Amino acid sequence: MTPSGSALRFVLFVNGLLLVVLACAMVVPMMVDLGLANADWWAFAGSAGVCSFVGASLALSCRGLSDRLNARAGYLLTVSAWVLVSLFGALPLYFSSLGLSFTDAYFETMSALTTTGSTVLSGLDDMAPGLLLWRSLMQWIGGVGIVVMAMMLLPMLRVGGMQLFRTESSDISGKPVARVVHMAALTVAVYVGLSALCAIGYDLAGMSSFDAINHAMATIATGGYSTKDASMGYFDSVGIEVVGIVFMAAGALPLIFYAHLFTKGSRAFFQERQVFVFLCVLVTAIILMTAWNVNNNHMPLWHALRVSAFNVTSVLTDTGFATSDFGAWGSFAIGLMFMLMLIGGCAGSTAGGIKIFRWQILGAGLVRQLRQMVRPNQILLTRYAGRSVDEPTILGVRNFFFIYMMTLLILSVAIMATGPDFLSAITLVAQGMANAGPGLGVLGGPSGNFEALSDPTKWILILAMLLGRLELMTVYVLFIAEYWRD
């Protein structure tokens, strides 16, 4: 069945509510600019008025529907929410004193809400506080939205193996709806708590309160927007970098994992295999990058460890902060960073990338196939986190890898058609799909931004950011004829 009329109205109802929430969020930077007598307050006031009017109109005209959300309506809700919220979230930037084109305003907003962290803006050090706060706030809102979607909606839609993370009745008692509400509330509580702790950490490490709040929101959301053009390199502080490393890694772990730590203690760490594997990959990559920088870039050991630990953590978690231009560290460093960018964080976290659990399942499936070649008559199972994984799930993960790589190649060729070289094109698309922030080439690298890119290139990257954040299949399914047929 196609999405029914009532289901479509429910999608519009939810989108309306999201726009109302977005309008309320616009009031915060508006009050900041108004209090500082900055003229950009009117851009937030006008945008909030438009956003609240459209959102309230949709919500009121479509309210009172209780039909259960089916999978097809779920796909449409997921995609339409990110597109629509990005559209209205771009209004304050478009109407502000920055003088941005609509393409640049939408690019900046999509990058924020998908927690990618790519930016077309420069002169951040002297920018109006309200605009800086709005960028960080959008990343923070996008981060919690991503986690709730990944934990509540994608498992239902069976996107690329995400059905492994369905809420289990053993974890939360009560009816299914009660479980979902409980999980969402618990996730948001953990998210807010981590954000507060991160802000306190940055403040104690030497940031101003304003910078600490902005960077905390971007850190926990693994978004990477900074209030400084030089990103974290501006502060040149070991203490700030240590806080950043801890909380970037914390944002890349499943948020529900922290709740399990309280209830299960250390057993939760060993039961959640993707957490263990993620931390092993992180430590190994830091050691390898440190050794490379000592032996090939002739850095002192302490300095090599410092810059390697921060920038490797930033890239693996797809945050996008930088303290130095790691694109100039040499070929091995570029290759390792590219690989880490695609690996990404854990399912149920704010991090992007392919996700650790998919690499685990793909590897386990490969090992099973090799063992089956040696013992063709033996029935072998693929296991993940102590559970057997069925064939449809394994096939879903393999299909996800295939479509991810094909999308990466096709969009890279499309980018090359607009002018950039091969390295810049493929890393631009890779960082967009992984929601990682800076690329590794001359354009959009750690030492620059995306301002110089042409409008067609930016729109391709907007698509890449959306596809990567919504797990590709959620978007692609809308373009097959069967989706719209009864």
3-class DSSP state of 382? strand
CA 308 to chain centre: 22
Residue 455 near residue 107, CB atoms below 8 Å: no
Residue 429 near residue 461, CB atoms below 8 Å: yes
Candidates 221, 197, 214, 199; CA nearest to 143 is 221
Site of tokens 């709740």: 259
Kindly list the distances between the CA atom of residue 192 and the CA atoms of 169, 187, 256, 350, in Å, as whole numbers in the listed order. Answer: 25, 9, 13, 13
| Residue 228 falls in which region: left (phi positive, over 0), alpha (psi -120 to 50) or beta | beta
244 annotated as a binding-site residue: no
* The two three-digit tokens of residue 164, written as one number: 């492994």
115 annotated as a binding-site residue: yes
How far is 435 from 317, CA to CA, in rounded Å? 10
435 annotated as a binding-site residue: yes
What are the two backbone dihedrals, phi and then psi, of residue 382, each rounded to the nearest 5 degrees? -95, 125
The secondary element (H helix, E strand) that includes residue 388 is: strand 387-389
Q: In the chain, what are the helix, strand and coil shares in percent, each to the nearest 5?
A: 70, 0, 30
399 annotated as a binding-site residue: no
Residue type, 478: L
Residue 316 near residue 344, CB atoms below 8 Å: yes
CA 424 to chain centre: 21
Residue 432 near residue 450, CB atoms below 8 Å: no
Kindly list the distances between the CA atom of residue 19 and the CA atoms of 135, 218, 309, 314, in Å, as whole numbers in the listed order. Answer: 17, 21, 39, 31
3-class DSSP state of 99? coil
Candidates 422, 416, 423; CA nearest to 460 is 416
350 annotated as a binding-site residue: no
Residue 396 near residue 160, CB atoms below 8 Å: yes
Binding-site residue ranges: 115-116, 223, 319, 435
Binding-site residue ranges for K(+): 115-116, 223, 319, 435
